[in-house]
Structure 1
């Protein structure tokens, strides 16, 4: 028997044996507990549970009420941070929607109006034209006009004010940390696990401590948004700076650049196109956060979506959600255009010739400001011209419910009985001790003993925190949702790669799904299927589908043309070409798509706690409603540990596959 055959046989024995033992223990753990009268088999002994939640809550209480740093207290520090954020935020709110006032309460007198809706749309159009071309200017102008026409202007401007504050802080902070990580090796090593946690701990988990530290209001929401949106900028900055060609760096050294000049005149300018990708990610994550942040006082479109969800107002929720999508499209396309723009400077001529877009914008602002005093329609979009589609969406959902209720119920029953309940029973029955060992063995087998030990410790933390049963429900829901998302996503991705016309439609649909806020999925799902695990699964699949499609399409398209030609020359049929050449070579990309699908599924599962799931997401949401920071952080860390273990295992599989393929 060859070495490869022995390796394959050993691998099959390992995986088969591990599954068999897990299945037997899962099926008979309850009987074993009853026979031996040993409750510890299915539940971690209460007397040995970690009281991490109490420790965290006590620490935060001390921090807020007692911590003192000689010259100032911690409360002084949070107030200073809040002031630095609140001043530009309030200025932008005044500028965009509220106007500038003098005095308080009933005695307040308006000293200057806000920018008119025409001026804001004109500025957006000019920025887009400056960034690229007329086509982009028309698109951005149409997006902002949509917000006015459909009655979403005021909420949209509050959201825009949040974005205009959070994005610069997130982008500049991420850039600074990324530069530091690039220059100092130990900083990068220290930041890596912190960034992993920031990107995998559910947002709800750190809303509670932020609420305790900064109080209820838009400032807390902005702090949470920055924490959520900054990590991609840090990672992109490190990658961008590491990708700067060595000859360019050497040329900078030869010309006598000092370290500061090397950073700001060589490295950052050379990496700017890639850095703008990070800025784009910050913008998209900020917009995705606006709904969640509305739970602690952000207001704007996010609050409208959340309020619609609470009232089960399908029309209002979809309208507000579409407004966020429209704004996301405008900001996304504009930021992408800036990343590709080549700077052209005109040094001679008048001020108007040197800065045509700036002077045009100022002229429009002044002109609409004067006209608005005589014609209110110039200042504020007339109510008579507003359009609403809320009733259409509500009626459409009602019609679907009336005509397809039995079909949906039959589908729901089949999936529940045939898939969800058996898988749930399997995971719920796994004893915590064996679960820790099994996950450690899986991680060790795939990625080495270090990850195996780390994975076992992480799962041990979950069990010792008393959250094992809820963690198993999370893994079951995530596993089923990811399985179905991949089952749908990979064929769609292959179709998109093989048929360019279909690909444009499919990838356009994926763009829409990625820009829709996570809460928006819950409204139609609840209206069609009511609350429960099935509704949560459908919402997670819709939210997590995009990366499975995108990475599959990318992987198939990126297969080297010479290998495809070689396969054709030896007589491969189109089916053989796909199954024996393209898909094997695209496997690393498919695994990366699987990884991203898992990450999105876990982040969405926390939000589906609102539709009745009984998993770690529910634990996080309960902690938020009770303002219990310790409980929320422990549950959030548990979700993060599951995400980190899954991420490391799937990445290790992708690397092994690349190595085998010689990529």
Structure 2
């Protein structure tokens, strides 16, 4: 018997039958989609109405009872929430008084102002001085240029309203996140209880919380601020848990040896030691707070968000882009300042006492000058405003550019839109809507079982089944279809760009600049020029989602390729591999777990943007959430938001499990 004959049975035995599972499931799926009507039982293709759970009605009834009937004896629940709103309005009113409205009392004709809001030049001096103290001359120049941009382009007033809201929201969100995170570190049961709520808060659309906040706390900036805090707090909680647990055991042992109480150990040793990492969480809170300023303006937040929203409703391209760019500038300034502050907290104090004293003196002098000019502005109010004659505006140029593109390339743009709809969007939409709900739930369970075990499979299957029980299955599949197509397109663009830029520093700098702009530009701003060019519809939504969600696909692909150990590259080079072979057989395969995590983040951003694209005519769960806000139907809005959150959690758990499994196979750790 030959050696080949002897080895053949071993090959057959070692062939993993599990590899046939996914092709078999794909074949079955295609067959089920193409079956004629009536071939399957009716209950498999459309979830029976008799099986639906009236969750939306129950929620609406409960909220009505809570606000109209429920009480604690001496006061009602409505009184309690209004009192909380009044307390939270105090720091917000104080910040607005200093930055935007002036210090005084009363409203309307009865308003008495004893001091104006800080004038633009005083804020510029104070901001530059603080930036120089924290990050040096380069940061000071950036802060100065950014603040001057806001004044020159006439966005100062709106920017200060937005800044006051963001500062208060970020402070409350950071403190609240820190306290919750510390509680999770101390008590494991608290972490188990909080973790699902964090998942929901991060994946549920902000539109879904706006209506409950509006009902509980009333229309106005406080409701918007609370919704912002709920959206922005989860990263701070997670960062706190990771940062406190990462503190070296030696510090804990030192605290125990010196007789520290639990409170002293936490606040005098653990928190200061973890401060650089905690500042990363603060930075995330600030960025997320800025990300929802436009949405929050729907319930009275005002500021730049209201300016963008008004421009979008009136299709004023130039004004909307200018206000959106102002939000981007504000986001960049706060981001860079927070990053510099995080770096500074991790550095040892200045050793040269004379240099440190000189910096403190310069900072004090700058603040004194800013204060003196503020007093002068109170005496001579006319100098506090930036002169109208010196203001600039790019709004007409943006409007003219979009109008020229629309007129010149109208036929081409319409052809692109029609081709994409007929050959990509329409087939994908038909496929998604033809999937039997029972088979989709079964696929989710099987995927969970294969990637993470019984607990993951059954848990994700329960979430998929919960979507069906709400009666929103068809709408949810429209969400899956549009989000899925957008993620595929974003990955087809982002992964190759990230892989190409990973080993080319000059190209990476250019790519990073573009994706930084895409991530800091408010999501609403994408819609304005795209709507003018392609009109409303799914294709317009697709472009906006891809622009917003492509950044993580690029970043993670570049990061994964760049992190491949140099020793492996050297070994491949020594074996005679070409540059292309090194890329395709070494770098990309080893970077696949990181690329999968980038795809996961792309899915999350696509789902968050999908809700906003409801403004341009989509008919998915985002539209359900938005229409519920317009109709004040809190139950419908929350249920639609929960369905979006369930889809996001299913995708997140499956992709994360796949990435972890791939890492284990490659010996890279979990």
Q: Which TM-score tier does this pair reach, normalised by the shorter chain?
A: over 0.9
Q: 1:26 aligns with which of 30, 33, 38?
A: 33
Q: CA deviation at 1:495?
A: 1.7
Note if contact 1:493-1:550 (Cα within 8 Å) is conserved in structure 2.
Answer: yes
Which residue pairs with 1:43 in the alignment? 46
Which residue pairs with 1:331 in the alignment? 334
Question: Which ranges in structure 2 are unaligned for 5 or more consecutive residues?
Answer: 1-7
**1:175 and 2:182 equivalent?**
no
Inter-partner Cα distance in structure 2 for 1:315 and 1:7 = 64
Q: CA, structure 1 residues 26+579, in 2 after alignment: closer, same or farther (shift >3 Å)? A: same
Q: How does 1:202-213 map to 2 (within 5 A)?
A: 202-213=205-216
Q: 2:472 aligns with which of 467, 472, 478?
A: 467
Inter-partner Cα distance in structure 1 for 2:541 and 2:477 = 15
Inter-partner Cα distance in structure 1 for 2:22 and 2:169 = 47
Inter-partner Cα distance in structure 2 for 1:407 and 1:254 = 75
Note if contact 2:441-2:464 (Cα within 8 Å) is conserved in structure 1.
Answer: yes
Q: 1:541 aligns with which of 520, 543, 546?
A: 546
Report the secondary structure of 2:409's partner residue.
Answer: helix
Report the secondary structure of 2:402's partner residue.
Answer: helix
Q: CA deviation at 1:239?
A: 0.8
**1:512 and 2:517 equivalent?**
yes
Inter-partner Cα distance in structure 2 for 1:170 and 1:614 = 33
Q: 1:485 aligns with which of 490, 497, 510?
A: 490
Inter-partner Cα distance in structure 2 for 1:652 and 1:343 = 40
**1:582 and 2:600 equivalent?**
no
Inter-partner Cα distance in structure 2 for 1:24 and 1:450 = 29
Q: How does 1:211-222 map to 2 (within 5 A)?
A: 211-222=214-225
Moved more, 272-281 or 41-50: 41-50
Note if contact 2:82-2:216 (Cα within 8 Å) is conserved in structure 1.
Answer: no
Which residue pairs with 1:86 in the alignment? 89
Note if contact 2:243-2:277 (Cα within 8 Å) is conserved in structure 1.
Answer: yes
Q: CA, structure 1 residues 570+77, in 2 after alignment: closer, same or farther (shift >3 Å)? A: same
Q: CA, structure 1 residues 203+133, in 2 after alignment: closer, same or farther (shift >3 Å)? A: same
**1:637 and 2:634 equivalent?**
no
Q: CA deviation at 1:379?
A: 1.0
Q: 2:278 aligns with which of 275, 279, 284?
A: 275
Q: CA, structure 1 residues 370+248, in 2 after alignment: closer, same or farther (shift >3 Å)? A: closer
**1:289 and 2:296 equivalent?**
no
Q: Supply the RMSD in Å over aligned alpha carbons.
A: 2.1
Q: Give the length in aligned residue pairs.
A: 659
Q: 1:99 aligns with which of 94, 97, 102?
A: 102
Q: CA deviation at 1:359?
A: 2.5
Residues 388-433 of structure 1, C-alpha deviation per residue, up to 9 Å, x if partnerless? Answer: 1100100011111112222222222222121111111111001222
Q: CA deviation at 1:6?
A: 6.0
Report the secondary structure of 1:408's partner residue.
Answer: helix
Inter-partner Cα distance in structure 1 for 2:71 and 2:265 = 40
Report the secondary structure of 2:643's partner residue.
Answer: helix
Q: CA deviation at 1:498?
A: 1.1
Inter-partner Cα distance in structure 2 for 1:424 and 1:507 = 33
Q: How does 1:309-328 map to 2 (within 5 A)?
A: 309-328=312-331
Which residue pairs with 1:555 in the alignment? 560
Which residue pairs with 1:356 in the alignment? 361
Report the secondary structure of 1:230's partner residue.
Answer: helix
Report the secondary structure of 1:337's partner residue.
Answer: helix
Note if contact 1:30-1:42 (Cα within 8 Å) is conserved in structure 2.
Answer: no
Residues 294-316 of structure 1, C-alpha deviation per residue, up to 9 Å, x if partnerless? Answer: 01110000000111110111101
Note if contact 1:368-1:379 (Cα within 8 Å) is conserved in structure 2.
Answer: no
Q: CA deviation at 1:451?
A: 1.7
Inter-partner Cα distance in structure 2 for 1:582 and 1:437 = 35
Q: CA, structure 1 residues 7+427, in 2 after alignment: closer, same or farther (shift >3 Å)? A: farther
Note if contact 1:26-1:426 (Cα within 8 Å) is conserved in structure 2.
Answer: yes
Report the secondary structure of 1:119's partner residue.
Answer: helix
Q: CA, structure 1 residues 29+445, in 2 after alignment: closer, same or farther (shift >3 Å)? A: farther
Residues 447-493 of structure 1, C-alpha deviation per residue, up to 9 Å, x if partnerless? Answer: 21222211221111111111111111111111111011111111111
Question: Which ranges in structure 1 are unaligned for 5 or more consecutive residues?
Answer: none
Inter-partner Cα distance in structure 2 for 1:463 and 1:572 = 52
Q: 2:72 aligns with which of 69, 72, 83?
A: 69
Inter-partner Cα distance in structure 2 for 1:11 and 1:238 = 38
Q: CA deviation at 1:60?
A: 1.0
Q: CA, structure 1 residues 328+7, in 2 after alignment: closer, same or farther (shift >3 Å)? A: farther
Normalising by structure 1, we get a TM-score of 0.96
Inter-partner Cα distance in structure 1 for 2:295 and 2:419 = 33
Residues 574-606 of structure 1, C-alpha deviation per residue, up to 9 Å, x if partnerless? Answer: 111111111111111101101100000011101
